[in-house]
Amino acid sequence: MTDKKDLFVYNTLTGQKELFTPVHQDRVGMYVCGPTVYGEAHLGHARSAITFDIVYRVLKYLGYNVRYVRNFTDVGHLLNDSDDGDDKVEKKAQAENKEPQEVAQYYEMMYLKATDALNCLRPNIMPIASGHIMEQIDVVKILMDKGLAYESEGSVYFDVDKYNREVKPYGILSHRTLEDTMENSRELSGQKEKKNPFDFALWKKAPKEHIMKWPSPWSLGFPGWHLECTAMGRKYLGAEFDIHGGGMDLVFPHHDCEIAQSIGAYGDMPAKYWLHNNMITIEGKKMGKSYNNFITLSEMFSGQHQLLKQAYNPMTIRFFMLMAHYRSTLDFSNDALIAAEKGLARLTEAKAKLKTLKADAQSSSFDAKKIIADALTAVCDDFNTPVMIAHLFELTKHINAVSDGKETITQQDKQYLEENLAAIFDGILGLKEEKSGDDSKVIEGLMDLIMDMRSTARSNKDYATSDKIRDALKPLGIEIKDGKEGASWRIL
């Protein structure tokens, strides 16, 4: 770690970039809304995971002790994100004739596998909604006691109008008034239970055939979607924590409802800074199942999708995402990804080349410390990874110029750059050098060549070469056998 820099973050709540000052000195709590686990992770999930991975890595780089909590939603998230309709996980389970927990676990594990591949550090706690029913019921009870929730036919709804009149304005995160919300509320079926169409469910009475249901003072049912984050954030991070993150599509209603629940129940604004990553578009269009342009991460990694010209390795995808600021929309295209692939290769190559540079100059021809300082300032300016990367490209030019004998570097600067480039490239940006393709195929290809050269040597009676080959392979654990049907090799 170099000098501790000031960190500025854009807070959706205030609509401003603010200096980050932790609630509790040196300890930072961060809660991020994770996926609803009823389908495979796609590019949108990757963007959110990578965005908050950068936040986590920067905080750690700055020396904070961070507790990062990201939930898995396995219950209560209904189709169309509304208060009515099927539960997403349960519907998938019915379709596959499985227990909902089987479906949830399957997609949890897939999500972790994909985010691991993207080199996202795992959060410290990954709570699941169905494992915190009691905690959620507790919140509902408190809201009922305070008169901010009402029961209707076994379900419980949050009284938005009353909260808005008596406690706090509803919609402070999305900066909308209740009038805005009213205009945009559609009359949906099942809403006759509610006093107002914009009220939202805290607890839903389960239909008879529903599998995921628990006893409560109101009915055998399940919690509303917004409730889990209030309950689990408070449980694992306390009454007020530092950062609450998620995709921009969660600002309203999800996070505004969460804020209303928390303030209504406890009087506390749960988090100080609200950070939201922007969305992914695909060739200019919103990504979605209905648009037929929905690309999962395993499709990206394998190239098996009609929109993909090739497979993209996870580090290419990560780098592609980091080349845009997290609050900008990011348009997916093959051209942009291929450009990212090349850009990343250029950086990786320069990083390797740095180590081999002649560093016997009395002075460097460029200001190495300034480039690193500028890169760090950029990432501390609301996680501006594209600007950080631009500084790295600037550095690349100098490294290449030194290598070509056109510029100079001192031993001290070289060492400084090596250390800091590792900290930035591996530590903050989380880029790791990936082997392209399958190593075992490369080994087979190299062995084909070696066996071919050995066979040529033997037919030329050049036994020195053929022995040399055998001797070189032995310490690698590769054995050559000469048989009737020619020579073969195997890894011991």
Q: Give the residues lining the site for a second copy (CB under 8 A).
A: 67, 99, 101-102, 105, 109, 122, 124-128, 130-134, 138, 214-215, 236, 345, 349, 352, 435-437, 439-443, 445-450, 452-453, 465, 468-469, 472-473, 475-478, 490-492
Assigned token pair, 116: 């691991």
Q: Which residue, 101 or 410, is less far from a second copy as judged by CB?
A: 101
C-beta of 384: minimal distance to a second copy in Å?
Answer: 30
**Shortest reach from residue 149's CB to a second copy, in Å:** 19
CB of 13 to a second copy, least distance (A): 26
Closest to 229 (Cα-Cα) out of 248, 204, 208, 254: 254
How far apart are CB 229 and a second copy at their closest, in Å?
16
- Paired residues of 490 in beta bridges: 479
Cα atoms found within 13 Å of the Cα of residue 448, Cβ hemisphere only: 6
Q: Which contiguous run of DSSP H or E holds residue 148? A: none
- Block residue for tokens 């694992």: 236
User: Which amino acid belongs to residue 479?
Assistant: E
Euclidean distance between CA atoms 149 and 167, whole angstroms = 13
**Which of 192/468 has CB closer to a second copy?**
468
- Taking the least distance from each CB to a second copy, the nearer of 148 and 473 is 473
Using CA atoms, how far apart are residues 41 and 25, in angstroms rounded to an integer? 35
- We find the least distance from the C-beta atom of residue 162 to a second copy, in angstroms, to be 26
* Rounded Cα–Cα distance for residues 408 and 365 (Å): 5
State which residue, 128 or 429, has the beta carbon closest to a second copy: 128
Q: Which of 226, 293, 297, 272 is nearest to 47 (CA)?
A: 297
Minimum separation from the CB atom of position 104 to a second copy (A): 9
Residue 470 C-beta: closest distance to a second copy, Å: 11
Amino acid at the residue 268 = D
Least CB distance to a second copy at residue 372 (A): 25
DSSP string, 52-80: HHHHHHHHHHTT-EEEEEE-BB-SS-BGG
Closer residue to a second copy (CB): 189 or 440: 440
CA atoms within 13 A on the CB side of 459: 7
CA dist list (Å): 358 to 79, 148, 395 = 61, 71, 16
Of the pair 284, 405, the CB lying nearest a second copy is at 405
First CA to last CA across the chain, in angstroms? 44
**Pairwise CA distance, residues 12 & 234, whole Å:** 20
Task: CB nearer to a second copy: give 369 or 474.
Answer: 474
Query: Least distance (Å) from a second copy to the CB of residue 419?
Result: 22
| φ and ψ of 459, to 5 deg | -70, -20
**Residue 324 Cβ, how far from a second copy at the closest point, in Å?**
25
Closer residue to a second copy (CB): 5 or 210: 210
Question: In the numeric block, which tokens belong to residue 347?
Answer: 């950086």
| SS3 state of residue 367 | coil
**Which CB atom, from 82 or from 124, has the smaller least distance to a second copy?**
124
Q: In the complex with a second copy, which residue's Cβ is closer, 8 or 301?
A: 301
Handedness of CA 100, 39, 277, 124 (dihedral sign): positive
Phi, psi dihedrals of residue 269, rounded to the nearest 5°: -75, 120
Q: Which is nearer to a second copy, 164 or 298 (CB)?
A: 298
Question: Token pair of 165, please?
Answer: 């009149």
Look-up of token digits 């970039």: 17
What minimum distance in Å lies between the beta carbon of 123 and a second copy? 9
Q: What are phi and psi of 131, to 5 degrees?
A: -85, 0
Quote the distance between the C-alpha of residue 187 and its chain's center.
35
